[in-house]
A = this chain, B = another copy of it.
Amino acid sequence: VFLNRMSRYEVLSEDAMATIERGWRRLLEEIGVAFNHPEALRLFRAAGQIVEGEVVRLDPDFVLEQVAKAPSEFTLHARNPERSFPIGGDAMVFIPVQGPPFVREGDVRREATFDDYTRFTKLAQVYDDFDTAGGLVVEPNDVPLDSRHLDMQLALLTLTDKPYGGSQVSLTGALDSLAMAEIVFGGPEALAREPALYAIINANSPLVYDSRMLDSLLAYSAAGQPSVITPFLLMGAMSPASIPAALVQQTAEALAGAALTQLVRPGAPVVLGSFLSHTDMQSGSPGFGGPESAIGLFCSGQIARRLGLPWRAGGGALTSSQVPDAQAAYEGLNTMLPAFLAGANFVMHTAGWLESGLVSSYEKFVVDLEIVRTLREEFTPLEVDEASLAYGAHQEVGHGGHFLGAAHTLERFRDCFYRPLLSSTENFERWARNGGKDSAARATAVWRAALERYEQPPMDAALRQQLEEFVTRRRSELGD
């Protein structure tokens, strides 16, 4: 796992932090959060919170007491122990794009299929840069809706040997995901002891958790699996058109959800999520990668650190662009670099996100992989010691010569600099001779070659059979 040992870029003064804290305390206490789920309401009521209809008005100190029960760092376990990783502290975990119903492959944009699902999942397995494939690299629209979570969980467990994301679209999805994990990881107690899959729990902002998300939160928390509690705030639509107001709302929503996980199972791992961007007031569409989301990242990281929980940065390489062009790259880097500066622990949508999250793009996947590799190198502390000054090379070269043939250079030319995956430094003539392709066009060959290199990780045949029998039985019970 990548450890971000560089310093954090913090932009909020102590005064500003105090103002924001007063804000989320007031929201929790005076306006409260609606939970559309009787069990959630029962838990809050039993814990002494004020429940009025579906709205829970929360004592902020009570919320902080609950959250303090969650671990500040925990490990997500893989069926291949070498793939396990920590979440929290300096660790920074990368997950490819999640959720799009469409794909873009070269110049073709079309509905995503299960074949796309397996291809992106394989790419996330091939590249060590990804700690997990997540759970939903695309929405596979060609398999039946009611049972597609079974197909996806089976793919994640058999095509990869990394930790993964469970289904969280329905109670059925959550329970089936947990049941399959129990088959692989040795039953519910073992799974709770060593969590292996996570759930993304989005608030239905402003200030609501809906019943489907709460079904999943309750199921995963009860099983001791981590919930990544994520308010999804497009300022101007789901929150006020103000960054401080959005930070307040985001913190209130995330803390309320995190507190609930601890009422279900004290000590259950939980990640504070953020996903803060803006609404383009001209088009009415979401906008990504602008200054507001970068500032939001700096602040969200600082607030999460204060609260002592691992932190999910919304994305990743987010963009509103329709194609993997310059806009896609500058917007993507302008979310990814701030995520590094802000000390994100859990980075969703690291690679492939396009068109405000409607599209998983094969070519953008490669562009973003180059970006994240560059940043991992950029956020590795520089060693400065006498040897690094290469004084001998200066003695050798002197004035006006060059260092290409210096002993110091020859000893290290192979690995002294970052070696790009996609970027070209070819001069114009050579580049033109090689077809004059821009980076998006060159990316096609990169991901195709990576898919060729894919090897399925081994799995015990009996275990595999057990999983397949479970899927077959459940599929038929679900009527598909």
Q: Interface on A for B, CB 8 Å cutoff? A: 6-7, 9-13, 15-16, 19-20, 23, 26-27, 31-34, 55, 109, 204, 206-208, 235-245, 248-249, 278-287, 289-292, 294-295, 299, 320-334, 337, 341, 355-356, 358, 364, 367, 370-371, 374-375, 377-378, 380-386, 388-391, 393-395, 397-404, 406, 408-409, 412-414, 416-420, 422-428, 431-432, 436, 438-440
Residues from chain B with a CB closer than 8 A to the CB of A397 are 206
Chain B CB count within 10 A is highest, among A249, A325, A427, A432, for: A325
The reply to whether A440 and B325 form a contact with Cβ atoms under 8 Å apart is: yes
The reply to whether A281 and B416 form a contact with Cβ atoms under 8 Å apart is: yes
Chain B CB count within 10 A is highest, among A16, A289, A291, for: A291
Residues from chain B with a CB closer than 8 A to the CB of A406 are 240
As for how many copies of this chain the complex holds, the number is 2
The reply to whether B427 and A388 form a contact with Cβ atoms under 8 Å apart is: no
Pairs A–B under 8 Å by Cβ, sample size 9: A15-B384, A19-B385, A206-B400, A242-B389, A243-B388, A291-B374, A295-B378, A326-B328, A333-B334
The reply to whether B329 and A425 form a contact with Cβ atoms under 8 Å apart is: no
Specify the chain B residue showing the minimal Cβ separation from A440: B326
Kindly provide the distance from the CB of A166 to the nearest chain B CB, expressed in whole angstroms: 26
Specify the chain B residue showing the minimal Cβ separation from A332: B330
The reply to whether B278 and A417 form a contact with Cβ atoms under 8 Å apart is: yes
Residues from chain B with a CB closer than 8 A to the CB of A398 are 31, 206-207
The reply to whether A327 and B422 form a contact with Cβ atoms under 8 Å apart is: yes
The reply to whether A292 and B417 form a contact with Cβ atoms under 8 Å apart is: yes
Residues from chain B with a CB closer than 8 A to the CB of A327 are 329, 367, 370, 422-424, 438-439
Residues from chain B with a CB closer than 8 A to the CB of A402 are 206, 237-238
- Bound CA–CA A439/B12 (angstroms): 34
- Bound CA–CA A206/B295 (angstroms): 40
CB-CB under 8 A for A291 and B418, given A241-B409, A321-B423: yes
Residues from chain B with a CB closer than 8 A to the CB of A12 are 382, 384
- Bound CA–CA A468/B250 (angstroms): 63
Interface residue from B248, B370, B383, B404 paired with A389 (Cβ < 8 Å): B248
- Bound CA–CA A385/B398 (angstroms): 57
Interface residue from B245, B325, B383, B403 paired with A390 (Cβ < 8 Å): B245
Residues from chain B with a CB closer than 8 A to the CB of A10 are 7
Interface residue from B204, B291, B320 paired with A378 (Cβ < 8 Å): B291
Kindly provide the distance from the CB of A49 to the nearest chain B CB, expressed in whole angstroms: 15
Interface residue from B280, B289, B416, B436 paired with A241 (Cβ < 8 Å): B416
Kindly provide the distance from the CB of A37 to the nearest chain B CB, expressed in whole angstroms: 14
Kindly provide the distance from the CB of A290 to the nearest chain B CB, expressed in whole angstroms: 5
The reply to whether B321 and A439 form a contact with Cβ atoms under 8 Å apart is: yes
Residues from chain B with a CB closer than 8 A to the CB of A333 are 329-330, 333-334, 337
The reply to whether A431 and B322 form a contact with Cβ atoms under 8 Å apart is: yes
Specify the chain B residue showing the minimal Cβ separation from A104: B428
Interface residue from B9, B235, B424 paired with A341 (Cβ < 8 Å): B9
Residues from chain B with a CB closer than 8 A to the CB of A328 are 326, 329
CB-CB under 8 A for A206 and B394, given A320-B424, A327-B422: yes
- Bound CA–CA A236/B403 (angstroms): 5
Interface residue from B32, B290, B321 paired with A417 (Cβ < 8 Å): B290
Specify the chain B residue showing the minimal Cβ separation from A8: B9
Q: A33-B399, A236-B413 given. 19 additional CB < 8 A pairs?
A: A12-B382, A16-B382, A19-B386, A20-B389, A31-B395, A206-B400, A207-B398, A235-B403, A237-B403, A240-B394, A241-B409, A281-B413, A287-B425, A292-B417, A295-B382, A322-B424, A325-B326, A327-B424, A333-B333
Specify the chain B residue showing the minimal Cβ separation from A373: B291
The reply to whether B424 and A242 form a contact with Cβ atoms under 8 Å apart is: no
The reply to whether A330 and B238 form a contact with Cβ atoms under 8 Å apart is: no
